[in-house]
Amino acid sequence: MTEDKFLALFEEHKAQIYQHTLYLLGNREDAEDITQETFIKAWEYRAKLRPKTARSWLLKCAQNLCFNLLKRDKFQVHLTDGDDTDPETELETLMHTHSGRSNPSPDEIVVQQEL
């Protein structure tokens, strides 16, 4: 696929890809990032893209990238839940509450946060 054809593909599908990612993520910034990442992947695979299936390939790629982002966000541990506590101070506090152990495991930190 030539650069001109790719640019035409981008112009034709960018709005639909953005709408799809916005629907899945509910966040404009993330939707813009995933839309951009989708077209970066499309550029990398441009030699294999066929015009007849490009739309469905782009939508599926965007969907997979959204799901990956959602999974990654789901499993991130946030040391603060909206309060103004310094994360380093909170981590030190958590570390000292574990029966004298100076290096608790990540699981122990999460359990302590839940408690």
pLDDT per 10-residue tile (average), the chain, 115 residues: 86 92 90 93 89 90 91 67 61 58 70 75
Residues 24 and 56 in one domain: yes
Single pTM value for the model: 0.60
pLDDT of residue 93: 64
Residues 52 and 95 in one domain: no
Residue type, 101: R
Are 34 and 25 in contact, with CB atoms under 8 Å apart? yes
Which H or E run contains 100? none
pLDDT of residue 15: 93
pLDDT of residue 112: 75
**Residue 40: which domain range?**
3-74
Distance CA 12, CA 98 (A): 57
Distance CA 6, CA 104 (A): 51
pLDDT of residue 82: 57
Residue type, 66: C
What's the domain count of the chain?
Answer: 2
